[in-house]
Every structure is written in structure tokens, then in C-alpha cells.
Structure 1
Amino acid sequence: MSEPPIAVPTDTTIKQTRSLRSDIVFTFALALGLYLAWVVRDVLVLLYVSALFAVVLMPVVNGIMKLRIGGWKPGRGIAILILLLAVGGFATLFFVFALPPVMRDLREFFNELPTRGPELLSRIRHVPFMQRVNVSVLNTKLQDFATNFATYLLLSIRDWATKLFYVVAGIVLTIYFMLEGEAAYHWVLSFFPVDMRQRLDVALARAERRMGKWLLGQASLMLILGLSSTIVFLALHVRYAYALGVLMGVFNIVPIAGAVITVSLAILVAAIDSWTRVLGVAIFYAIYAQVETSFLTPRIMRSSVDLPGIAIIVALLLGAAFDGIIGAMVAVPTAVLVTVLLDEYAVQPEPIISAPHPVTEVQA
């Protein structure tokens, strides 16, 4: 009896086996990479935000580099240093001269809140639709809040210290990205094939120009809120109107959330003197929030970064849902980047079909 023939693996079988092994290894490597990215997601977000702010601030640095004093022209390092000194000097002046009086009066307000609380709450009874409010319950809540406010601040020191560390680390990373970002950028591009690399470089350069204009649009929104709030605070005779107006304008770099935080501070300052001023500040911000969300932000940002108004609002909502205040801050530049990449690689332009020429009748 003859033995059965031995099956010899063909080249096709070997290639299929190698392909199957490669797919399995790639799947496990992708799963491991996603898991590691999730573990270090905070660091990745910090790197992304720092790189994004470096891109956004580079037009300012380039503008400083174009300055000439006699025959001297600042380099990139000196331009970044000038920018940091300008921001640091402004912040120092504000914290030294404007903020201490506000904090002193707020501290006195919280100390007097248990005794002044009933007086403030009694005024609520004169506000329309507020006659049914249980004043005793609100008075108890205010007293508990005043009693536990210091405890809350003490317990939150650890969280604030962690956030402060991330802020300092983000500033340092942003400076390094502005100084050495081009080398890192070309290193990342080197992983792509040459033809794809050139196309990606052109698309990212286009995104950088549009993202740089975002800072101009955001600065316009900050200036509008700062000036309008200062005028309203002066008209209402709110204490420290100039300081609160500057604070509202600066914090408006965080869309929606920054203004909410500062208007809460303005309401507390107004509550020191008059309940009518509190109501005036609240009405002003309620009107301004509607105007900014529905009119100013879509139009200013559309002219700056060339995005539809609905795209800007959706980007802000998604950014805030993804990472809170930081997500809202970088939502619009990120939307610009995503839009440019989608236009380059995903959106297929419609073919231009020329209209047929009219057929002229040939006369016999």
C-alpha cells in the first residue's frame, strides 16, 4: 500500500498564515495602545492643549519678531519672553492693585452673612413671584453655607494644587512647543510617506492660519464683554466696577463658563450693598448671554475661523462635555483643525458639469 502524499505548503498558504498572525498582533497592539492612551489620557490632553495654544499664540510671537528697534530685531526666544513679561506684568498689576479690595470686602461679607442674611432674604418677599418662598429655609441654607465655606476651601486645597500644577506644566509645555515645535512637527511628519507627507503639510499649514485667527476673534469677544460689563457696573454703582469688568473680560477666554464664574463674583460684590444691584447684574448677564450665544459668537467666530455658527455652538457643547472648561477653551480651534482635515481627505467635491450649448438650427 502506497503512503499518502505529504501536503507541501504553498506560497499562498504561507502568506495567508503570516497575514492572519499580523492581523492578530496588530489587533492586540491596537488594544494595548488604546488602553495605555486611556490610562495617560490626562497627560495626552495636556500635551494636546499645550500644542494647540502654541499654534494659536505663534502669530503673536511672529508679530513681535517683526518689530525693529534701530537695527535690533528680536528673535523667537526674545519674542516669547516679551509676550510672557507682558502677560505676567498685566496679571501682577491686577492681583496687586485690583483684586485685594474685592477679596477683603467679600471676606467681610461672608463674615456678616449670618446676621445680614435675614435682611437680604426679607427683600426677596418684595420681588414678584417670590412671595411663596420659604424664607426660613433659605436663611438656614445661607447660615450653613457661611459656616462651612472655610471648611470647603480647606478641603479643596488639594484639588486646587493639582490644577495649579497642570496649569504651570501647560505653560512650560506651551513655551517649549513654541521654541522647538517645528522640529517636533517635522519629526511627526517623517512617519508618513513622502507624497502623503506633502499633502498633510499643506493641509496643516492651512489649518494653522485659520486657528491663529481664532485668538483675534476670542479677543474681540473678551473686549466686548469687558467694556459692556464695566459700563453696566458703573451705571449700577457696583463696587470695583473697573476691576470686575477687567476680570469678566479676561475670564471670557473660557466660553460661557468663564463669564458665569465672574458674574457670580460680581453678584456677590453687588449683594454687599443692594439687592437691586444684584438684580441689575443678573438681568444684564442674562441678556448678554443670549446676545453672545446667538449673535456675537457665531458671527465673530465665523468671520475669524470661517466656521458656521451651528458648528461653533456644537463644538463648544462637545468640548465642555468632554473635558469641562479646558475642553470649551480649545473647542473652536479643534473644530477648525477637524474641518480642514475633513475637507482635505473626506469631503469629495462635486464635479462641475458645464451647461450644454444651445443647438442652433441649420437653415436649409
Structure 2
Amino acid sequence: MHVDAALLPERRRVRGYILFTFVLAGALALAWKLHHVLLILYVSGLFAVVLTPIVKRLEKIRFRNRHAGKGTATILLFAGIFLALTLFFWIGFPPVIRDFASFVSDLPHRIPQALAKVQRLPLASKVDMSKVAAEAQNVVGAFAAYVFDALPRWATHLFDVLTGVILCVYFILEGEEVYQYFLSLWPIDKRTRLANTLLTSEERVSKWLFGQLTLMAAVAIYMLIVFGALHVRYFVLLGILMGITNLIPVAGNLITITIAIMVAASDSWTKALGVVIAYVIYVQIENAILTPRIMKTSVDLMGITVLVALLCGTEIAGIVGALVAVPTAAMVVVFANEYLVQHDDAPGRVT
């Protein structure tokens, strides 16, 4: 059988495409089979990227005229993290659980009282408050049941957490070797651009994460003081929730402050007004002072980007997915700006 020599390169190209398709399909199938392991690896690597700058700073500490090595610095870092978590679960967590249990048990009595006050407002008399109270109790009851039922399931992931911690330590200790090996897989003429993009991504993600944690701590401490001073019920629970929900732009804090206002209103309208005034003051301080100073060098993510990232991360991997969703989105934005965004530098055009 005679084969035209001019067609051989084309046939080799087609066979190459077919082979690449099968290899890609096999890789995707293997990734789906190992998705749980890959998730642990990814989360561990991401935390290693964030924690490595701290390790480098700790390496500069001198012990008897000697700098701490990377191993010693890593041990000091994780010892500090373990101590902080221990203090939180020993000192801070019990009041939150106590307030949550009291909130759930008191809710059936508090909702009718709050709705009775609301019904005295103009136009509120036209709303069937009995149905509103029933729906509110059902929603809170379902949420409370989910939280308490989910606690044992979360405890089953303890092995995954320990595995992730061990992997994170290895990534910190051997991260430079892994990074150099990864770069060696790319053509030499493209490594510099990729290396600069990876460094920018690492810097931006770290700054964003630490900045966000600072803002979360600021709003939590501020609201704990305000709620405590106003004698708002469950002030520890509500203050901690204000800090956690600060991760979700605008909507997160609005939901929590609405709950706080309702709780305060069940005691008095004056207390509820104090909560509103305190929250408005904090929003002004955060927008005018805290956010510009803390987040000015981080990735500027739009609110819709954060919400979509949180929804996708939660759907893919639950709480762990939500935890790493926004840093992942920040990293994707850096790569998109470098490789996908087309900058129009033509004169006379708006860029």
C-alpha cells in the first residue's frame, strides 16, 4: 500500500491529537479518583505558601549568636499556632457554644416578643406575624440541628487535618526544591515570566489573607466590646459571627448585624438603636481607614468574585473549599491579569 509522503506529517499530528486526548481523559479520570487526596495536597500547599514568609522571618531570630534554621523556625511557628488554637478552644470556644445553646433554647420565646414589638410599627399590622414566627423558628431550628449533627462528622476529618499539617510542614521545608522542579518542566524562555507571576501570586495571596484576618479580628473585637457594653444577649456568639462573616463582602455582616438588632430589639428599641449606631460608625472607620491601609497592596477582588468563589468552593469541598476559595480566586486573578487580559495601549484609547 503506497502512502503519500506529504500526508505522513498530517497523520502523525492526528495520531498525536488522539493520543493526547486519551492521555488527558485518563489524567482527568485519575484526578477524579484521587480528588480527596489532591484537595488535601492543594490546601496544604496553599497554607505553606502563606506561612513560608513567617518562617523566613523567624529564621532571622538569633539564639546565642546563631540564626534559627528553617526546621527550628517551622517548629516555632506551628507551636505558636497550636498554642493559639488551644487557648481559643479552651477560653473562647465554650462561651460561644453556651451562647449558641441559649440562643436556640430562648428563641421560641423571644421571636413572639420581638414580632409583637414589630407589629406595633406602621404597616406592620398587615403582615401575619404568626406565620413569620413559625417560619423563623423552623429556619433557626433546622440550622441548629445541622450544626449539632455536623459536629461528629467534622470530628471524623481529624485524620485529614493531621495529614494536611504534616504535608504543610514538608512543603515549607522542601518548598524551594518543589518550586524549582516545577519550573524546570517549562521551556527555558518562559520560566522567567512564570516565576515572576508565581512570586506575585504568592505575595498577593499572603497579603490578602493576612489583611482579611486583620479586618475579621478588628470587627470581632469591636463588636464584642460594643455588644458587651450594651448588654446585648449572646454578645460573644454575635461578636464572633461578625468576625467570621466579614469574609463575605457586605452581605455577611449585614445578615449578622440584622440578627443582633433583632436580639437587641427584643429587650428594647434603645438597645437596638445603639447597635445600629455602633455598626454605622464601624463601617465608616473600616471604609475610610482600615481597608485602605490594610488591603491597599492586596489583590483587589470584586465583591461578586468573592461570592462566586465562596459558592463554588463550598459546593466542591464544603467548609475546606470555602476556606481556600478566596485565596484561590486571588491567585487566579493574578494569572488572568498576566496571561489573559489584553491591555490596549494604543494612543487615544481608554485603558
Q: TM-score, normalised by structure 2?
A: 0.75
Q: Is the 8 A contact 2:233 2:264 kept in 1?
A: no
The answer for the alignment partner of 1:316 in structure 2 is 306
In structure 2, C-alpha distance between the alignment counterparts of 1:327 and 1:351, rounded to whole Å: 38
Pairing 1:16–2:6 present: no
Please say if residues 58 and 73 of structure 2, whose CA atoms lie closer than 8 Å, have aligned partners that are also in contact.
yes
In structure 1, list runs of 5 or more residues that go unmatched: 1-6, 354-364
- Which one is further off, 235-244 or 13-22? 235-244
TM-score (norm 1): 0.72
**Secondary structure of the equivalent of 1:304?**
coil
Of residues 226, 231, 235, the one that matches 1:232 is 226
Superposed CA RMSD: 4.3
Relative distance call for 1:304 and 1:166 in structure 2 (3 A) is: farther
Partner of 1:362: none
Change in 2 beyond 3 A, CA 1:299/1:117: closer
Q: Secondary structure at the match of 2:62?
A: coil
What fraction of aligned residue pairs are identical, expressed as a percent?
34
Offset at residue 144 of structure 1 (A): 5.6
Residue 304 of structure 1: which of 282, 297, 301 is its match? 297
2:41 match: 47
* Mapped pair 1:274 → 2:267: yes
Alignment of 1:196-345 (within 5 A): 196-238=190-232, 241=235, 245=239, 248-249=242-243, 251=244, 254-256=247-249, 260=253, 263=256, 267=260, 270=263, 274=267, 276=269, 279-280=272-273, 283=276, 287=280, 299=292, 303-305=296-298, 307-308=299-300, 311-324=301-314, 329-345=323-339
Alpha-carbon displacement from aligned partner over 1:222-247 (angstroms, at most 9, x marks no partner):
24313431342144223575775466
CA–CA distance in 2 between the matches of 1:163 and 1:146? 26
- Provide the C-alpha distance between the structure 2 equivalents of 1:45 and 1:277, rounded to a whole number of angstroms: 49
Whole-angstrom CA distance in 2 between matches of 1:262 and 1:88: 31
Structure 2 CA distance for partners of 1:151 and 1:58, relative to 1, 3 Å: closer
TM-aligned CA deviation for residue 130 of structure 1: 3.1
CA distance in 2, matches of 1:243, 1:147: 17
What is the CA distance between 1:62 and its match in structure 2?
Answer: 1.5
**Which has the greater radius of gyration?**
1
Do the aligned partners of 1:319 and 1:330 also contact (CA within 8 Å) in 2? Answer: no
> 2:75 is matched with which residue?
81
Q: Look up the match of 2:90.
A: 96
Secondary structure in 1 aligned to 2:45? helix
Quick one: structure 1 residues 297 and 133, their matched pair in 2 at CA, closer, same or farther if it must change by over 3 Å? farther
What is residue 56 of structure 2 aligned with on the other side? 62
Q: 1:80 & 1:262 partners in 2: Cα distance?
A: 39
Question: Cα offset for 1:52?
Answer: 2.0
Superimposed CA distance per residue, residues 108-155 of structure 1 (whole angstroms, 9 cap, x where no aligned partner): 453454455544443332345433343333454566678777754564
Decide whether the 8 Å contact of 1:121 with 1:139 is kept in 2: yes
Distance (whole Å) between structure 2 residues aligned to residue 304 and residue 285 of structure 1? 28
Q: What's the CA shift for 1:319?
A: 0.8
How far did 1:30 drift? 1.9
1:304 partner letter: T
**1:148-163 map, 5 Å:** 152-153=146-147, 155-157=149-151, 159-161=153-155
Between the aligned partners of 2:276 and 2:147, the Cα distance in structure 1 is 29
- Deviation larger for 233-242 or 86-95: 233-242
Confirm or deny: 8 A CA contact 1:58 1:178 kept in the other structure.
Answer: yes
3-state SS, counterpart of residue 156 of structure 1: helix
Distance 1:87 1:202 in 2: 30
Q: Distance in 2 between matches of 1:221 and 1:46?
A: 27
- Residues 145 and 302 of structure 1: is their aligned pair in 2 closer, same or farther, counting only changes over 3 Å? closer
User: Matches of 1:230 and 1:334 in 2, distance apart?
Assistant: 30
**How far off is 1:255 after superposition?**
3.5
How do residues 154-173 of structure 1 correspond to structure 2 at under 5 angstroms? 155-157=149-151, 159-161=153-155, 166-173=160-167
Letter in structure 1 aligned against 2:297: S
> How many residue pairs were aligned?
343
Give the structure 1 partner of residue 126 of structure 2.
132
Shift of the alpha carbon at 1:316? 0.7
